């Protein structure tokens, strides 16, 4: 009997992409439910009453919130298929450190890149480029962030790649030419079926953000 797994998510969420990738890596079947973020479902509000945000993973009727926690939960529940976290305690701690770094350092500037203009957007550009420089240095010449195996840090960051074109167009930011190693890493990740299925088309993201800026924010 298959276990009931539901994912409440939004197609363009780089955080929800993490959970989708992890589930695909583990070959786990689940029910995907698209959320309208302007009119959140009663189930979402019930399952995540604290933050009221996607993604929410529901397993056997019980919610697991926060994408990085969800990825680790999935890895612990199905440890034998495509392990996401290293078995070595030190390497595992390092992976968690960098996943936490990505969460703490990207949310504010990345949101400001598309939702702000003027000085706030310029400050976000500087901040995000510094984050990319740090991640580029950490990646170095490795195939994946953890070495030869696709893992937690790759899953934590790859969803942002689908937003790079939006950041470049909307914020006049140069990413691709500055970070060839990160771009090559992203292409390697995209060769994985799990990543290719989870990441939306960059043009679709750009159109959605552009429409939102014009209609909701009044920014061209």
* Mean of per-residue pLDDT scores for the chain: 96
pLDDT of residue 220: 62
Which segments of the chain have a pLDDT < 50?
1
Give the list of residues 6+ apart from residue 31 with CB closer than 8 angstroms, or none.
4, 5, 6, 7
Q: What are phi and psi of 217, to 5 degrees?
A: -95, -20
pTM to 2 decimal places: 0.95
Q: What is the DSSP letter of 93?
A: H
């Amino acid at each position: 009997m298959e276990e009931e797994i539901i994912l409440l998510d939004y197609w363009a969420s780089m955080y929800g992409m993490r959970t989708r990738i992890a589930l695909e890596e583990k070959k786990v079947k689940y029910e995907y439910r698209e959320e309208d973020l302007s009119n959140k479902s009663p189930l979402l509000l019930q399952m995540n009453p604290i933050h009221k945000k996607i993604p929410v993973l529901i397993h056997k009727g019980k919610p697991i919130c926060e994408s990085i926690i969800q990825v680790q939960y999935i890895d612990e529940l199905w440890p034998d298929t495509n392990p996401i976290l290293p078995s070595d305690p030190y390497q595992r701690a390092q992976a968690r450190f960098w996943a936490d770094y990505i969460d703490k350092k990207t949310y504010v500037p990345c949101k400001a890149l598309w939702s702000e203009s003027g000085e706030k957007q310029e400050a976000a550009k500087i901040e995000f480029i510094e984050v990319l420089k740090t991640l580029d240095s950490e990646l170095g010449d490795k195939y994946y962030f953890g070495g030869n195996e696709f893992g937690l840090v790759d899953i934590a960051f790859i969803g942002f790649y689908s937003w790079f074109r939006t950041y470049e167009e909307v914020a006049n930011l140069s990413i691709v030419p500055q970070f060839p190693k990160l771009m090559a890493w992203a292409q390697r990740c995209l060769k994985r079926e799990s990543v290719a299925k989870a990441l939306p088309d960059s043009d679709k993201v750009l159109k959605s953000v552009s429409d939102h800026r014009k209609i909701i924010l009044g920014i061209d």
